[in-house]
Amino acid sequence: MKKPNRLFLFSIVLLLIFGSCRYEEGPLISFRTAKQRLYNVRKVKSYTVDGMDSIGYLNENQYIWTDFFYDDVNSYDLYVMQIPRRDGTNYYYTWHWTLSNNNTILEMEGPNTPIIGIFGETGNISWTILKLTRKEVKMETTYNGQVHKVDLVEF
């Protein structure tokens, strides 16, 4: 094969690899499925609303501990959020979740109990995944006309 053909072939391969990144912030290549990367116990590293740091709100009202389970392990896709109560006990909210749009949208359908905050009154919300690795998940959603971004890291 001549050098120009090799260079052309190499350019096409690079274009396919780097042009097919599903997430705005990566990764470019992964050997794990999206569900395997999402599955983990995580804590909230950062939380912003319209670019303003809002981690204090999240810590006071919705705590910082979350856990994703997926069907290969637990026979269902489940998200659990732990919320501390004033009496010192914890309340756990659960959502069923699915990935859609080529694994770039996290659809959460959750508790029948009305709750406050970024999950809305019915608990149903869609998050756009910006980054999905085993150690970190970055997502954003629009709720009440505001852009909410959350960065979850491995616990």
Q: CA–CA separation, 28 vs 100, rounded Å?
A: 19
Q: Higher confidence at residue 129 or residue 15?
A: 129
User: Between 14 and 56, whose confidence is greater?
Assistant: 56
Q: How sure is the predictor about 100, in pLDDT bands with cuts at 50, 70 and 90?
A: very high
Q: What is the pLDDT of residues 25-56, one digit of tens each?
A: 666 677 788 888 888 888 888 889 999 998 77
Planar angle of CA 59, 139, 148, nearest 5 degrees: 55
Q: pLDDT tens digit string along 111-130? A: 665 555 555 556 678 899 99
Mean pLDDT, all residues of the chain: 76
Cβ–Cβ under 8 Å, residues 24 and 133: no
Which pLDDT band holds residue 5 (cuts at 50, 70, 90)? confident
Task: Give yes or no for residue 101 having a pLDDT over 80.
Answer: yes
Q: What is the CATH number of domain 31-154?
A: 2.40.128.280
Average pLDDT on 89-117 reads 77
CB atoms within 10 A of CB 58: 18
> Is the Cα dihedral 150, 42, 107, 25 positive or negative?
positive
Q: Which pLDDT value is given to residue 30? A: 74
Q: How high is the pLDDT of residue 116?
A: 52
pLDDT at residue 40, rounded to an integer = 85
Residue 72 clears pLDDT 90, i.e. is over it? no
Q: Kindly tell me if the per-residue pLDDT of 104 is higher than 70.
A: yes
Top pLDDT among 98 and 130 is at 130
